[in-house]
A and B are shown apart, each in its own frame.
Chain A
Amino acid sequence: MVELVPTLLRQELARLAEDDQRLDGRSQWEGREVSLEVDCLYNAEGSAKVVMGKTIVYAGVKFELRTPWPDRPTQGSLMCGAELRPVAHRKYEPGPPSPQSIELGRVVDRGIRESGCIDMESLCIVPGEKVWGVMIDIHVLSDGGNIFDACGLAAIAALRTAIVPAERFDVGEDYKLKVNGTPIMSSFTRVGGRYIYDPSEEEELGGDERIHITLGDEGHLHSLQKGLRGVFTPAEFAEIFDVAHQRCTDLRTLVANQEGN
């Protein structure tokens, strides 16, 4: 379905931006309240539910035994995929994975993979013969804006609570998956000419290009992505990069607190 972007919405967003305001009353770099629940799906080996405003996302981790790639006989594998199914919004239609959902899954995948939080060697059972394949599937149930951050958060929280089902596959005892780090994504969208953090559905509809930044525990960059039509300056990036640092630290604490419970 083609989304019609009402001119009035764009005008209103531009007017608000001039007064440094947002539609829902948040300040420029303020995120919506985030609720995170882990271990919430019975059949998944690790799971998480994230609610951010009207956005609801689930992530589930499954394991499978596979033979390693010939050039990497001692390494397991990690795959992260996202589905933007028609359940999530009236704008999503059934059919094969859309370019949007592929981009979403791959950006989340890169952030987790490149942070090195999963040691691929630790997924090896018998070199050259048997390794674990870890699959993170992200299911968006309600798209109320900024599904990228919600998906990234659900994926890493699910991964960090995953139990390797070794008993079911007859390769030893179950154990907790070792995850060294908590990569976190922050997303920014240009609305009314300036960037804002954590766009709502209306801000995405009446906004322009977006930037996604995934940072590791040390504050290093692990994945970047610019999406949609538009350009930005290095100075603008420097500003949102600083914000991303702060927001990632907050969300990392949220994940750590949930695991403690």
Chain B
Amino acid sequence: MGGYGDVQLLRDDGLRLDGRKLDEMRPVSIEAGILPAADGSAMVTHGLNVAVAAVYGPMEAHPRKIQRQDRAVIDVRYNMAPFSTGDRIRPGYNRRSREISKVTAEALESVVLVERYPRSKIRVEIEILAAEAGTRCAGLTAAAVALADAGIPMRDLIVGVASGKVEGIVVLDLDKAEDNYGQADLPVGILPNTGEIAFLQMDGDLSPDEYNLAMEYNFKAAAEIHEIMVDALKRRYEGGEN
């Protein structure tokens, strides 16, 4: 966390700088099946974040050394477009995107019925077109919808959500300023039907009570986003405009 501490993030009326309540998330909209070349795809707009996910496969796993005899491997690439942030990012993989890709893949492997596809690979490409804090969560949500859109069997969806702490107060869904100057960030991937957690990261400083409250906020937000995910998939398959 940035932790500069001298930036005011809560207004005198107790609301946040963008007018949200402490437990209010930014608006989320989701569209499934937006990329014609992919087997499954989704776009998630979460506040000012825009994340696109494409799924290809299951396909032959190569190079062969990544093959697993008993299950499929999920090959995730999280990538930020050069124009997605304030200062241009040099194209290409970096340590941050590699780590996010790895933990996202492991989260998705926890819900996809990978044992149905031994020795194969499922490619999940996550592209961030606009980044304003919370891109790994938006990317994870997009990936889950894209996998479902591709018709790949899963135990449950995954919802990416985050809570954090600003000025000593726990808040849901940090925006850019809160992420830069806040004191903690707790992004998680929640299985909305089982209530299990498949993705967990955290940095900053949280007391046990603050952790519990942040997690409570996360579960509440996950239930809201889950409805939007299901709605996007229904629109795609119930003979809507697609």
Among the listed B48, B86, B88, B125, which residue makes an inter-chain contact with A87, where contact means beta carbons less than 8 Å apart? B125
B86 proximity list for chain A (CB < 8 A): 43, 168
Residue B170 at the A interface, CB < 8 A? no
Q: Which of B8-16, B76-84, B222-230 contacts its partner?
A: B76-84
CA distance A41 to B50 in the complex (A): 8
Shortest Cβ distance from residue A50 to the other chain B in the assembled complex, whole angstroms: 14
Among the listed B34, B35, B79, B85, which residue makes an inter-chain contact with A43, where contact means beta carbons less than 8 Å apart? B85
How many residues of B are counted as interface, with CB atoms below 8 angstroms from the partner's CB atoms? Answer: 32
A87 proximity list for chain B (CB < 8 A): 35, 38, 52, 54, 77, 79, 125, 127
Q: Which chain B residues (40-67) contact chain A, with CB distance < 8 Å?
A: 48, 50, 52, 54, 56-57, 59
Q: Which of A18-26, A78-86, A216-224, A249-257 contacts its partner?
A: A78-86
A247 proximity list for chain B (CB < 8 A): none
Residue A116 at the B interface, CB < 8 A? no
Q: Considering the complex, give the chain A residue whose CB is closest to the CB of B36.
A: A54
A137 touches B88 (CB 8 A): yes
CA distance A94 to B79 in the complex (A): 11
Q: A43-B83, A60-B83, A144-B37 are in contact. Are A139 and B129 (CB under 8 A)?
A: yes
A144 proximity list for chain B (CB < 8 A): 36-37
A83 touches B37 (CB 8 A): no
Residue A89 at the B interface, CB < 8 A? yes
Residue A88 at the B interface, CB < 8 A? yes
Q: Mark A130-167, 1 if CB is under 8 A from B, else 0.
A: 00000101010111100000000000000000000000
Among the listed B48, B52, B59, B82, which residue makes an inter-chain contact with A90, where contact means beta carbons less than 8 Å apart? B59
B35 touches A62 (CB 8 A): no
Residue B131 at the A interface, CB < 8 A? yes
Q: Considering the complex, give the chain A residue whose CB is closest to the CB of B75.
A: A94
B52 touches A141 (CB 8 A): yes
CA distance A201 to B36 in the complex (A): 11
Q: Which chain B residues (79-102) contact chain A, with CB distance < 8 Å?
A: 79, 81-88, 91-92
Q: Considering the complex, give the chain A residue whose CB is closest to the CB of B39.
A: A90
Q: Which chain A residues (22-79) contact chain B, with CB distance < 8 Å?
A: 41-44, 47, 53-54, 56, 58, 60-62, 64
Q: Considering the complex, give the chain B residue whose CB is closest to the CB of A47.
A: B83
Q: Considering the complex, give the chain B residue whose CB is closest to the CB of A62.
A: B88
Among the listed A62, A96, A137, A142, which residue makes an inter-chain contact with B38, where contact means beta carbons less than 8 Å apart? A142
Shortest Cβ distance from residue A177 to the other chain B in the assembled complex, whole angstroms: 15
Q: Considering the complex, give the chain B residue whose CB is closest to the CB of A63.
A: B88
A139 touches B81 (CB 8 A): yes
CA distance A108 to B61 in the complex (A): 34
Question: Besides A83-B82, A137-B88, 7 other CB < 8 A contacts?
Answer: A41-B83, A58-B81, A60-B129, A85-B77, A139-B83, A141-B127, A144-B36
Interface set of A (CB-CB < 8 Å, partner B): 41-44, 47, 53-54, 56, 58, 60-62, 64, 81, 83, 85-90, 94, 96-97, 135, 137, 139, 141-144, 168, 201
Which 4 A-B residue pairings sit nearest by Cβ, starting from the closest? A60-B83, A54-B36, A87-B125, A62-B88
Interface pairs (26), CB distance under 8 Å:
A41-B84, A41-B129, A42-B132, A43-B83, A43-B131, A44-B130, A53-B36, A58-B129, A61-B83, A62-B82, A62-B87, A83-B91, A86-B77, A86-B125, A87-B77, A88-B37, A88-B54, A90-B59, A90-B123, A97-B91, A135-B88, A137-B88, A137-B91, A139-B81, A141-B54, A142-B38
